[in-house]
Amino acid sequence: ILLLQSEHKTGELLYIRKLWTLIGGNQRELARQKNMKKAQETLKGKRKEDSLSASQRKQRDSEIMQQKQKAANERKSLQSGDK
């Protein structure tokens, strides 16, 4: 692409850049957009920074999953009891 910059007009260069992004060369642009969205959500309060350590977060998530599993097992036993 660097060789094409010196040979072509700016309109053609923009076309080549758009074509490049269409074929998958836009990872940097996608990452930039994702980070902007994350920053905006943090400012709006949608994304809660709970300031937990990794082990505390793991413990919390483990407890939530155990509760969900217990509820699923109860539903399963009720369904098998109805049949």
Distance separating alpha carbons of residues 40 and 60, to the nearest angstrom? 26
Q: What is the torsional sign of CA 73, 77, 79, 80?
A: positive
For 31-75, the pLDDT digits (tens) are: 889 999 888 877 776 556 667 788 888 999 999 999 999 999 999
Answer yes or no: do 12 and 41 share one domain. Answer: yes
Query: What pTM value is reported for the model?
Result: 0.39
Q: Which domain holds residue 57?
A: 50-83
Domains held by the chain: number: 2
- Please check whether residues 44 and 58 belong to one and the same domain: no
Instruction: Quote the pLDDT of residue 61.
Output: 92
